[in-house]
Structure 1
Amino acid sequence: MNKITEYLQEKVMPKANKISNERHLAALRDAMVLTIPFIIIGSIFLILASFPIPAYTEFLNQHQGIKDALLFPFNATFNIVALVATFGLGYRLAESYSVDPLASGCIALASYFLVTPRFSTTIDEVMVTGIDTNYFTSQGLFVGLLIAIVSTEVYRVVIQKNLTIKMPDGVPPTVAKSFTAVIPGFLVVLVVWAIRLLVENLTSFDSIHSVVRVMLEKPLTHLGTSLGGTIIVFLVINLLWCIGLHGSIIANSVMLPIWLQLTSANAASLASGEPVKNIVSAEFRYLIFVGGSGATLGLVIAMAFFAKSKQLKQLGRLSIGPGIFGINEPVLFGFPIVFNPIMWIPFLIMPIVTVLITYLSMQTGLVAKPIGVLPPGTTPPLISGYLMTGSLSGSVLQLLILVLSFAIYFPFFKLADMQKVKEELVASENLE
């Protein structure tokens, strides 16, 4: 373990640091960190609204108003991460260029609304127009980050060319700053507006969101449920998470209909007394996602109980509750794993390892195959393993994945932990 850590520190870390300190990646990382409080708060209310105890779930189903009320804070925090990150990236990137970050963040957010499609519907014979709020969630995150980079780059070029309105010396600085942003902001809106019109009128796509969705989803449609295809699907899910895009949502939009058919087939076989046949089905993802995409619960345990850095220890303690219920956005964006090249290594190793172990152990009969039971995604590991396979072997499999997760993430966690400790020591010395 020490040799691995030393190798990573001497060979890999310098290159990874050089990449991660690049201006745009650093701004992306800071934008992701800005979303952490919203994600943690939202995670708490999501658990409260979907706690996997039958009696509690039945109570909420009978009192839909209570469940809806529990989801109000979730929608107001967790489900606006695309907006928060778009503003944050515009702010931080402009800050790195020493131009007005507040104006840049606001212009980036306005630009995102500009490219996000509207919908129209009729309610009581009245035409209502609005924006699909799904684009405010992580579903729109990647487009928001792209637009923030484009808008901020245009904004700072115009500012640096001095194409701004100059106010007299007697005008208050705040008022002068607002007028300084008029011409750059106008030009940003023109550029982003032109991009939208070009996409919608000169291509077969109806929005920039559709371009991203189709380009990412199309390769997944050619993948089946074989061992090789399954590894690729879950590797793609984690690759998308690496760049801040909700890989599960994108993969599910293509693969879930296929997976659900296989789940139904397994359930029908079980009901007729026949052996189940399908290994990869809708349940498979929950079996291998111990703690969320990338099986990050092992990393969370390492942070909570073995971190010397105050920041990582606190993040681990905050993340362990959501992680048990399969919600790992706090660690994905807080550690972070998103836009963090050094952590991409274990994060991309995990789906390969977990798919191989799960698939082969079921194929050889060591672990029972899924029986067509699909519990809520927030069901804790071990319990979910038992429910989905109808056997304790499912729980044992998830326990093995948890142990492997801890072992694979640990050397990379130690490397980050040592780095954080050094940063905290420097910060405390500066305060003195």
Structure 2
Amino acid sequence: MDKITKFLEEKVMPVAGKIASQRHLSALRDAMVLTIPFIIIGSVFLILANLPIPAYIDYLTAHPKIKTALLYPFNGTFNLVALIATFGVGYRLAESYKVDPLASGAVALCSYFVVTPSTIFTVDKMVTTAMNVNYFSSQGLFVGLLIAILSTEIYRRIVQKDIVIKMPEGVPPTVAKSFTTVIPGFIAIITVWIIRLLVENLTTFGSVHNIVGKLLQQPLTNIGTSLVGTIIVFFLINLLWTIGLHGSVIANSVILPIWLQLTSENATAFAAGQPVDHIVTAEFRYLIFIGGSGATLGLVLAMVFLSKSKQMKQLGRLAIGPGLFNINEPLLFGLPIVFNPTMWIPFLITPIVTVLITYLSMDYGLVAKPIGVLPPGTTPTLINGYLMTGSVSGVILQLVLFVTSFVIYFPFFKIMDNQKYKEEQTTLTNQDESKILKVN
């Protein structure tokens, strides 16, 4: 165990730390976090438009305008994630370079519109074109992230080389600052315009969106959402936690854009009354992480109700409140699980088992797949299971996962509890002997 700990400290921790602090991945992570409030807001209205109550569904079917109205906020939030994320990457990446983030975010958004194809349609026998709004949602997310990085890199390099329009003294600072954006913004937009022209005229892909989807997005999605790929992702999340690094934050920099796109696709299908296709989505992690990373709620309840050790019982009482809302840092660092080889085994095994159970039960149709509703991560277990699947089967699944995690953690909990109990008894015995000696 000492060799494993040393290896993790010396080899894994430095690499993971560099990944976590890498500016482009940090910008991607922050942009994804920026989209989450709007996804949650949209999810609320998606639920309201599709509550699984027969009488309610019949009423909405008889009054389609009401359902359409309920989906307006959904379309204005959830279905704009590509635009929000594009602006967010441009803003955060520019901020890390200490150049004007607001201008950079705007340039990134304009650059995205430049590469996004339009749709030709006819209205009252008039042929016209308009931006394809499908690319404003998750369908355009990958391209938005890549274009935001490219345009921001061009923007900041031009600014840092001081190739900007400089206004004379006396011009208000706000006006002067706006003119600073003209040259770097022009070069960034011209660059992505040329890329679009080259792709459309020299390739068979037709658009930047198609080329990114076929060459990058789809392969990453296939790998990252397969059963094996999903197990690896969740194993790595927990492995990073064992050495004190926030595994979810690090993994989200890479995998969350893929998961959010699939969440959005499921939500769109569900809103249209069609079957959902994807199992592994952004909300999948909330289904299996009952009590937080590692599914530790079963361990916390064992500590509260089954501990002989006063220390373990007290820590369980302190951790159960946050644990019910899927916050388990008090347990990770208080028990601890971090740098504690005894608890690494169940902490690493549990997500593998829960991923297997969840994935296979959904794949075989025993449990409803996620419907694209992304509740806050602190939504209590069972409640979030119902919201994310729109079915009681999601609640039953989480009960099964809770029991499974409890069974896996229990033997290791007993080992620690017995150790702590013996330490406490030894301390009490020594204190009693000390009192006797003082009396004598």
Shared fold, TM over 0.5: yes
Structure 1 CA distance for aligned equivalents of residues 363 and 160 of structure 2? 64
Q: Report the equivalent of 1:42.
A: 42
For structure 1, list consecutive stretches of 5 or more residues without a partner in the other structure. Answer: 224-228, 254-281, 321-345, 410-432
CA RMSD of aligned residues (A): 5.1
Asked if the contact 1:290/1:398 (under 8 Å) is kept, the reply is no
Alignment of 1:26-425 (within 5 A): 26-216=26-216, 231-232=227-228, 242-247=254-259, 291-292=283-284, 295-296=287-288, 298=290, 353-354=353-354, 356-357=356-357, 370=365, 381=385, 397-401=397-401
Asked if the contact 1:382/1:395 (under 8 Å) is kept, the reply is yes
SS of alignment partner, residue 119 of structure 1:
strand
Q: Mark the structure with the bigger radius of gyration.
A: 2
Structure 2 CA distance for aligned equivalents of residues 221 and 155 of structure 1? 30
SS of alignment partner, residue 35 of structure 1:
helix
* C-alpha displacement of 1:400: 2.5
- Matched residues, percent identical? 53
Give the aligned residue type for 1:132. N
SS of alignment partner, residue 120 of structure 2:
strand
Structure 1 CA distance for aligned equivalents of residues 22 and 221 of structure 2? 34
Structure 2 CA distance for aligned equivalents of residues 149 and 368 of structure 1? 36
Structure 2 CA distance for aligned equivalents of residues 290 and 405 of structure 1? 21
* C-alpha displacement of 1:250: 6.1
* C-alpha displacement of 1:245: 2.8
Structure 1 CA distance for aligned equivalents of residues 123 and 349 of structure 2? 50
Are residues 296 and 139 of structure 1, via their aligned partners in 2, closer, same or farther at CA, if it must alter by over 3 Å?
Answer: farther
Structure 1 CA distance for aligned equivalents of residues 222 and 369 of structure 2? 25
Asked if the contact 2:155/2:184 (under 8 Å) is kept, the reply is yes
Structure 2 CA distance for aligned equivalents of residues 77 and 97 of structure 1? 29
Give the aligned residue type for 2:227. I
* C-alpha displacement of 1:300: 5.5
* C-alpha displacement of 1:109: 0.4
* C-alpha displacement of 1:120: 0.6
Structure 2 CA distance for aligned equivalents of residues 201 and 408 of structure 1? 58
Structure 2 CA distance for aligned equivalents of residues 406 and 90 of structure 1? 44
SS of alignment partner, residue 99 of structure 2:
coil
SS of alignment partner, residue 197 of structure 1:
helix
* C-alpha displacement of 1:237: 10
What is the TM-score when the length of structure 2 is the normalising length? 0.60
Are residues 94 and 387 of structure 1, via their aligned partners in 2, closer, same or farther at CA, if it must alter by over 3 Å?
Answer: closer
Asked if the contact 1:43/1:78 (under 8 Å) is kept, the reply is yes
Give the aligned residue type for 1:52. P
Structure 1 CA distance for aligned equivalents of residues 87 and 282 of structure 2? 32
Structure 2 CA distance for aligned equivalents of residues 197 and 161 of structure 1? 28
Deviations 1:305-358 (A, max 9, x none): 9899xxxx99995x99xxxxxxxxxxxxxxxxxxxxxxxxx9x99996456446
Structure 1 CA distance for aligned equivalents of residues 103 and 16 of structure 2? 31
* C-alpha displacement of 1:387: 7.5
Give the aligned residue type for 2:62. Q
SS of alignment partner, residue 98 of structure 1:
coil
Asked if the contact 1:41/1:74 (under 8 Å) is kept, the reply is yes
Q: Report the equivalent of 1:25.
A: 25
Deviations 1:176-229 (A, max 9, x none): 111111111111111111111111111111111111221257659999xxxxx9
Give the aligned residue type for 1:197. L
Are residues 107 and 248 of structure 1, via their aligned partners in 2, closer, same or farther at CA, if it must alter by over 3 Å?
Answer: closer
* C-alpha displacement of 1:110: 0.1
Are residues 304 and 128 of structure 1, via their aligned partners in 2, closer, same or farther at CA, if it must alter by over 3 Å?
Answer: farther
Structure 1 CA distance for aligned equivalents of residues 126 and 323 of structure 2? 48
Q: How many residues align?
A: 335
Q: Report the equivalent of 2:380.
A: none
Structure 1 CA distance for aligned equivalents of residues 222 and 297 of structure 2? 40
* C-alpha displacement of 1:22: 1.4
For structure 2, list consecutive stretches of 5 or more residues without a partner in the other structure. Answer: 235-250, 266-274, 301-314, 328-345, 374-382, 410-440
SS of alignment partner, residue 213 of structure 1:
helix
